Structure 1
Amino acid sequence: MPKARAEKRSRQERRGGGGGTGILFNTGAGQHILKNPLIVNSIIEKAALRRTDVILEVGPGTGNLTVKMLEKVKKVIACEIDPRLVGELQKRVQGTCLANKLEIKVGDVLKTDLPFFDACVANLPYQISSPFVFKLLLHRPFFRCAILMFQREFALRLVAKPGTKLYCRLSINTQLLARVDHLMKVGKNNFRPPPKVESSVVRIEPKNPPPPINFQEWDGLVRIAFVRKNKTLSAAFKSSAVEQLLDHNYRIHCSLHNTEIPENFKIAEKIQTVLKNTGYSEKRARSMDIDDFIRLLHGFNSEGIHFS
């Protein structure tokens, strides 16, 4: 290769170049293409794809995972925001027997309604990880499972248990709605260009039927508890903003149920009474599990205190 071309290609790779595709990948938008065929095959194997499956893929990139899935399933619906990568993906299957099994949706997957699908398999742009997980888990009809690539620490938060360092609101909200399993670690050198962080693949299987809980209410409670997860709940609920919100919600509840509110009523006292009566006043969110929060939510709701 002539020296000038070699230097140009080297510069392109340092900037996140697309190698053989000639595309400059936008690493700021999470464009890190999975290049290791062994990892691609392992992800597909763990997805247990079926011939009749419709697969949702987000961020297909240049199609390394897409093409392998097209060989095994009925249809792949690929969601891609970058028109350049859409063009690369179309060229890759053009004129082959796989072309009519591929549907490409161009745009931001967070701003569009998800189609029907049996399973979701994706090397996600990491900056949309959290909103996409909850978009998936609140999607209906139910899908069988999702096999997703995440930044390592995000993946470990998804599976974290009460009492561990990474346990957080993301952990408990995800585990309320789904079973989550960590499948494998993926080193940064398996991507082109390599990201700055290590990655992991997880399996998410939604609970069907879902727990009989109003998720907005649940998330409102959990959000308050985990703002300072090492504080006691008694202290966490003494925030003036929290008291104002719950006082407002309580007065709406009483109005709807024709319940008279005493003149000397103070929401702070009622909140602390609920926490004490349920036995959670001195508990900390970091060590509470799903059953604990279900009991606490029921305790508040039964006294007319709501979180949505």
Structure 2
Amino acid sequence: MIEKAAIKGTDTVLEIGPGTGNLTIKLLESAKRVIACEHDPRMVVELQKRLHGTEMLHRLTLIHSDFLKIELPFFNLCVANIPYQISSALVFKLLAHPHKFRCAILMVQREFAMRLCAKPGDELYCRLSVNTQLLAKSDHLMKVSKNSFRPPPKVDSSVVRLEPRNPAPQVNFIEWDGLVRLCFNRKNRTLGAIFHTKSVLKLLAENLKTQRALAGGTVADGMPLLPPPVAAAAATGARPNPFASALAPPLAGASSMDVELDEDDDDDGGGGGLKADLLPVRALVDEVLAATGFAEQRASKMDLDDFMALLARFNAAGIHFYGTGIESGD
């Protein structure tokens, strides 16, 4: 991991979960400074004892806290063997950091690594793949056998490299994730099938109504839309965080964009079985899918440019996607 990180003598390196300090010492041998965040008080004491009386201790900043709750300091690199149970939340917290770092070299559970790096058409290509690759270039560097550890864990690990995109993509991540979540709800169904379900059309109709109400208009008067996070920020004086939905771990809770798609949820294919209030939204959806040519496309085969084009076309039609949390790991 040290070799893959290509640490410079002027670098400040962030380490997450240093434990007893084996990796920390290697980092301190190469870097100017190491910032280590450790939640376990026993490990904090152990690391302090291990470095007591050494020159390295003066170049180590040890933060005793939950990594997901701290405000990230400036750093050039992140090198860490990260806790598997918080992998997703940790990755997106790093990628949401406003000060762009050079890269992160992370050891993670192998299946998680393969999801991070999966490409369209791969079996493990999922919402995590799309969201990660929107924000960073992801590369699988090497596989690490579980037998390399004592005691060995139950699964193999992998080392991945994440390089944040600079400049960051000009997209509101909350809205992006809302669309991607819907598309990957059933990733092997066509977008036409997904967006024609009554539950999705009802969700889009309610969202459209809310958007226009926030803008001071009605559903029918064609008023411009005002995203809820922006409206809320304007009312409170707070600054909206476009990456907020990425900071919650998967399976943490429900979202307004989380829907269950059942087989009996489909309309009759032409909108004849829909209530009158859903017909205008159905018409907008049909226009978007026809214009983009994505009606028969599946999320599992779509790349970043495809999702960008789809979101832009939906927005142009007045349809937005805003959620309040993250539910699915896909």
What TM-score does the superposition give when structure 2 sets the normalisation length? 0.77
CA contact (8 A) 1:158 1:170 kept: yes
CA contact (8 A) 1:54 1:117 kept: yes
Q: Which residue of 2 aligns with 1:274?
A: 288
Cα distance between partner residues in 2 of 1:237 and 1:44: 46
Cα distance between partner residues in 2 of 1:115 and 1:239: 45
Any idea what the Cα deviations from partners look like across 1:5-30, whole Å, max 9, x if unmatched?
xxxxxxxxxxxxxxxxxxxxxxxxxx
Q: CA deviation at 1:239?
A: 3.8
Q: Is residue 262 of structure 2 the alignment partner of residue 304 of structure 1? A: no
Any idea what the Cα deviations from partners look like across 1:207-238, whole Å, max 9, x if unmatched?
00011111111111000000110001111123
Letter in 1 for 2:294: Y
Q: Is residue 111 of structure 2 the alignment partner of residue 97 of structure 1? A: no
Q: 1:196 pairs with 154, 166, 170, which one?
A: 154
Larger Rg: 1
SS at match of 1:55: strand
Q: CA deviation at 1:108?
A: 1.1
Q: CA deviation at 1:275?
A: 1.5
Q: Is residue 227 of structure 2 the alignment partner of residue 213 of structure 1? A: no
SS at match of 1:266: helix
Seq. identity, %: 59
Cα distance between partner residues in 2 of 1:94 and 1:239: 63
Cα distance between partner residues in 1 of 2:199 and 2:41: 44
| Cα gap change, 1:148 to 1:282, in 2 (>3 Å) | same
Q: Is residue 137 of structure 2 the alignment partner of residue 179 of structure 1? A: yes
CA contact (8 A) 1:184 1:202 kept: yes
Letter in 1 for 2:309: R
**Deviating 4+ runs (over 4 angstroms):** 257-260, 262-265
| Cα gap change, 1:144 to 1:234, in 2 (>3 Å) | same
Q: 2:28 pairs with 63, 66, 70, which one?
A: 70
Q: CA deviation at 1:258?
A: 4.3
Q: CA deviation at 1:200?
A: 0.4
**Unmatched runs of 5 consecutive residues or more in structure 2:** 222-275, 323-330
Cα distance between partner residues in 1 of 2:304 and 2:12: 32
RMSD: 1.6
Q: Is residue 243 of structure 2 the alignment partner of residue 285 of structure 1? A: no
Any idea what the Cα deviations from partners look like across 1:264-298, whole Å, max 9, x if unmatched?
65323322332222211111000000010000001
Q: CA deviation at 1:260?
A: 5.6
CA contact (8 A) 2:208 2:219 kept: no
Any idea what the Cα deviations from partners look like across 1:234-271, whole Å, max 9, x if unmatched?
11123444323321221233342746617865323322
SS at match of 1:276: helix
Q: Which has the higher contact order (CA 8 A, sep 6+)?
A: 2
Q: Is residue 220 of structure 2 the alignment partner of residue 261 of structure 1? A: yes
Q: Which residue of 2 aligns with 1:236?
A: 194
SS at match of 1:192: coil
Letter in 2 for 1:271: V
Cα distance between partner residues in 2 of 1:112 and 1:246: 35
Q: Which residue of 2 aligns with 1:135?
A: 93
Letter in 1 for 2:100: F
